[in-house]
Structure 1
Amino acid sequence: MSDIGKILPIEGYRVLLKRSLPVEYTKSLTHLYQPLVGVTAVSLYQTLINELDFQEESAAQTHHTLMNYMNLPLDKIYRSRIKLEGLGLLKTYQHKSSEHSVYTYELLPPFAPAEFFGDDMLAQLLYHHIGESKFTLLQEHFRVQHSDKGTNITAAFNDVFQTFQPDAATIPYMETQENSQVTEETFPSIDFSWMEQMLQSRMIPAKKVLTAANKRLIHQMMTLYGLAEFEVEKAVLWALTEENTLSAGEFKEACHDLFQSKNQSSSIRLAEKTTNKAVETDVKPTTKEEQLISKLENISPKELLEDFSNGEHASGQDLKMIREVMTTQGLPSPVMNVLIHYVLLQSDMKLSKAYMETIASHWSRANLKTASEAMAFAKNQKAQYQERKNKPKNYRKPASKEVVPEWFKERKKKKPQAEQTSTNTAQNNEEFAALLREFSNGKQ
């Protein structure tokens, strides 16, 4: 129900295809993409392809027409569109006007089967969706047959033509022909400084490990398995060869094992991401506490330290200390941010490893996952400490816990009776003496 109203039936759309489709794109859609996104999303993709020949340049089709074509409500069409976007089969552009928005749907060609199996993330997803036997069957069916062509003696451009001598600084560095298509632009911009520092601290050449292809693989596995930075560090160290290169196969297996151990052998499948209601309604944090929690949820520990240092670079010693505490106790990044913030405020802006480890072990046992949980827990613990501190002390001597013999208890019970008997005897003696005095006076 939350997707209703995202787009309206009266709003228009146009379809765009800039690149030609591979010859076997229908096989890719049916056998490789459909297990991941579902039949409705694949049907939407094919419907938009067939719309290319019928759309008019002057007027845009309405989404109501698309609803009639597919016999589906608009919220299901919207969810299918989002799936295509997430898997790289569609780009959507919105043009807002005074009346209604018009959308441009740019179709992206699916991978050919051989390229699909060359993508580590997509191949892993398909493996977990359809199982090992079916995956192996498809992989063998679409395997490219390499014949022995002999030595490549094809003339290069520079061997045949001459234009000018390029500046060496402008030539991009390509490690091998095999990875020539993988550049920094082929994956999202990610800060790998944490990984570089970890490798350098172990005297491992970071540039040799963090190649463009390996960065792309690391990012894909982090996204696929939902791994934290310290878990990826473990996987990278496990998959390093004797030559300090990253074994892609062992790295993928290590990431999968980490996921399995953390999620108790849960199956890996694509599922629609549930967004927070606050995000859906564009509700922004209003109070200072909400703004702080939002910041701690989305910032890295390194950036948090730099904020406290007025933009100065975080020291390697502090980062190493935080990494060791974080990896040892397994704290998520938002919880670690709250811990750093708390320790700095409580310790006159100093980071004490012993103090951090004490609190971190407690928070780890409490199984805190988010910044808001950590902040609420810290407040509660501090309030309990203040309450115990301000509570008036009772100096009453505690009751003795010594074992009292039974004969002593019986003696204490008999003692009051003896005292009472003694009191009665004294009283009787006084009365008797008085009677004697009266008797003596009478005789005289």
Structure 2
Amino acid sequence: MSDIGQILPIEGYRVLLTGSLSSDYTTSLTHLYQPLIGIQAVSLYITLVNEQDLQMDSAQTHHTLMNYMDLPLDAIYRARRKLEGIGLLRTFRQQSAEHTTYLYELHPPFTPAQFFSDDMLTQLLYHHIGQDKFDMLKMYFEDSSTWEGTDITASFSDVFQTFQLHTDDVAITDAAHNTQDDTASSIDFSWIEQRLESQLIPVKKVLTTANKRLISQMMTLYGLAEYEVEKAVLWALTSDNTLNAQEFKEACHDVFETNHQQASIKLTEKQENTVNQTHSEETHSADKPTTKEEQLIRKMENISPSQLLADLSSGGQASGQDLKVIREVMATQGLPSPVMNVLIHYVLLQSDMKLSKAYMETIASHWSRANLQTAREAMHFAKRQQLQNQKKQPKQKNDRRQTSKEVIPDWFKERKKQSEQTQQQTVSTDEEWQETEALLRKYSKK
């Protein structure tokens, strides 16, 4: 529903094609791109290509585009974002007091040869259509004007996710294709450089520009941690210290399958309630959390469980065992990522900052039955449970007072003593969530 209203039928658009289309561009679209982005996105691209020759001096309205494609405007908007995410379209918006106009800058699709030379796209296509069809296609295919406006093009990671566990959980990682070179340059490779130098392996020979791009793509595609990528690199080194690209990709996929036995690689549209970035910026001040609890909820909604655990570990890396516990609980109970974040926080507060698997599984099963879906719901649910537990304790104490004249066995006195000690150690609801505020301040300063 968040896609409705992102574009209005009365708003205009113009089309600009950068470069020239190859003679077989429709073959690339239907056989290589369509399995990844769907028929509506491909149809929109072809419609815009042909619309470029028909456009007049004045901009066409999106109502015209709705009639051409026989689609509602929210479906056209989603198709447009897929084209943006895959690198076939850049969108610019120009606003004035009277009207809003969009420029759709079309980019030619890769030729089959270019497509199969891109590691990210070939891996995605392989996972979408399977080994037999992929091999058949690969064998068959072997062998700017400027416009003033604000670039509001969605990136690949804004639109797509590359794998998802078989739960309602949010996918662990996103991938990025249309900014390949930027992605490679934005990753800090110092961690692997130090590892290679410690083993007297020539760094420049391994970390070439092409290999850096390959490493960054596989790292984001399969959601691998740095130490996992490091192992894959070392595994794929040849006897003369060069990186075997195919063995490296296979090693990354093996690590992924080990970590997520029930997950599959497939390009899917993000399910989060994403709104247009520009509209978000315009309403940012109104949505800004005002209280510390709201800040904490916002943090829980947007951070990953592994990053939260790392932030709460005094800036250090979360242990592999703790991450394994979290992954198993999420997969077993099907808790969304924001709810899992609140659960981690709650368990740490209740267990003196220790991550107890048994305790976490008990609470997780309860929260799963309660069908909690957001961080706000989970936090309020936890508070209510604590208040109910505290209300029960005085009643139990009064009951014992009424029977105080009876002869009480020693074992009952000992149990009472232990119960009172436990009660004294129980932190009140307000104090516990004050601790969360302190923790929030700790990692909000980073």
- TM-score, normalization by structure 2: 0.60
Q: Which moved more, 1:236-245 or 1:129-138?
A: 236-245
Q: Distance in 2 between matches of 1:254 and 1:94?
A: 43
Say which of 281, 285, 291 aligns to 1:287: 291
Q: Distance in 2 between matches of 1:290 and 1:379?
A: 15
Match of 2:195 in 1: 199
Relative to 1, partners in 2 of residues 1:363 and 1:195: Cα closer, same or farther, differing over 3 Å? farther
Radius of gyration: which is bigger?
1
Relative to 1, partners in 2 of residues 1:183 and 1:126: Cα closer, same or farther, differing over 3 Å? closer
Match of 2:41 in 1: 41
SS of equivalent residue, structure 1 residue 260: helix
Paired-residue identity, %? 57
Q: Distance in 2 between matches of 1:228 and 1:387?
A: 45
Q: Which moved more, 1:322-331 or 1:295-304?
A: 295-304
Match of 1:18 in 2: 18
Say which of 216, 231, 236 aligns to 1:219: 216
Q: Distance in 2 between matches of 1:380 and 1:219?
A: 44
* Residues 213-256 of structure 1, C-alpha deviations (whole Å, 9 max, x = no match): 23322332343334455544454444344555443222322332
Q: Is contact 2:348–2:355 with CA below 8 Å preserved after alignment?
A: no
Q: Distance in 2 between matches of 1:384 and 1:205?
A: 61
Q: Is contact 1:17–1:106 with CA below 8 Å preserved after alignment?
A: yes
Runs of 5+ consecutive residues of structure 2 not aligned to the other structure: 144-177, 331-336, 401-406, 413-446
Whether 1:69 aligns to 2:68 is: yes
- CA shift at 1:364, angstroms? 8.6
Match of 1:259 in 2: 256
Q: Is contact 1:90–1:106 with CA below 8 Å preserved after alignment?
A: yes
* Residues 361-396 of structure 1, C-alpha deviations (whole Å, 9 max, x = no match): 96599779999599899989999999999998x995
Match of 1:150 in 2: none
- CA shift at 1:114, angstroms? 0.8
Relative to 1, partners in 2 of residues 1:67 and 1:218: Cα closer, same or farther, differing over 3 Å? same
Q: Is contact 1:84–1:90 with CA below 8 Å preserved after alignment?
A: yes
- The AA in structure 1 aligned to 2:213 is R
SS of equivalent residue, structure 2 residue 93: strand
Whether 1:271 aligns to 2:268 is: yes
- CA shift at 1:123, angstroms? 0.8
Q: Is contact 1:225–1:255 with CA below 8 Å preserved after alignment?
A: yes
SS of equivalent residue, structure 2 residue 272: coil
SS of equivalent residue, structure 2 residue 268: coil
Runs of 5+ consecutive residues of structure 1 not aligned to the other structure: 145-181, 309-313, 347-354, 401-444
SS of equivalent residue, structure 1 residue 291: helix
Match of 2:434 in 1: none
Relative to 1, partners in 2 of residues 1:239 and 1:387: Cα closer, same or farther, differing over 3 Å? farther
- The AA in structure 2 aligned to 1:52 is Q
- CA shift at 1:101, angstroms? 1.4
Q: Is contact 2:238–2:244 with CA below 8 Å preserved after alignment?
A: yes
Match of 2:93 in 1: 94
- The AA in structure 2 aligned to 1:142 is F
Q: Is contact 1:338–1:371 with CA below 8 Å preserved after alignment?
A: no
The total of aligned residue pairs comes to: 347
- CA shift at 1:121, angstroms? 1.4
Whether 1:187 aligns to 2:179 is: no
SS of equivalent residue, structure 2 residue 53: coil
Q: Is contact 1:325–1:356 with CA below 8 Å preserved after alignment?
A: no
Match of 1:8 in 2: 8
Aligned counterparts, 1:109-188, within 5 A: 109-144=108-143, 185-187=181-183
Alpha-carbon RMSD across the aligned residues, in angstroms, is 5.0
Q: Distance in 2 between matches of 1:74 and 1:98?
A: 23
SS of equivalent residue, structure 1 residue 269: strand
* Residues 419-441 of structure 1, C-alpha deviations (whole Å, 9 max, x = no match): xxxxxxxxxxxxxxxxxxxxxxx
- The AA in structure 1 aligned to 2:25 is Y
Q: Which moved more, 1:197-206 or 1:103-112?
A: 197-206
Match of 1:413 in 2: none
Q: Is contact 2:184–2:212 with CA below 8 Å preserved after alignment?
A: no
- CA shift at 1:41, angstroms? 1.3
Relative to 1, partners in 2 of residues 1:200 and 1:286: Cα closer, same or farther, differing over 3 Å? farther
Q: Distance in 2 between matches of 1:399 and 1:303?
A: 46
- CA shift at 1:272, angstroms? 1.7
Q: Distance in 1 between matches of 2:69 and 2:392?
A: 67
Match of 1:156 in 2: none
Q: Distance in 2 between matches of 1:375 and 1:204?
A: 51
Q: Distance in 2 between matches of 1:48 and 1:233?
A: 44
Q: Distance in 2 between matches of 1:327 and 1:305?
A: 8
SS of equivalent residue, structure 1 residue 187: helix
- The AA in structure 2 aligned to 1:23 is S
Relative to 1, partners in 2 of residues 1:183 and 1:103: Cα closer, same or farther, differing over 3 Å? closer
- TM-score, normalization by structure 1: 0.60
RCO (CA 8 Å, sep 6+): is it higher in 1 or 2? 2
Q: Distance in 2 between matches of 1:193 and 1:377?
A: 42
- CA shift at 1:18, angstroms? 2.2
- CA shift at 1:73, angstroms? 1.9
Q: Is contact 1:16–1:52 with CA below 8 Å preserved after alignment?
A: yes
Match of 1:51 in 2: 51
SS of equivalent residue, structure 2 residue 6: coil
SS of equivalent residue, structure 2 residue 267: coil
- CA shift at 1:117, angstroms? 0.8
- CA shift at 1:335, angstroms? 11
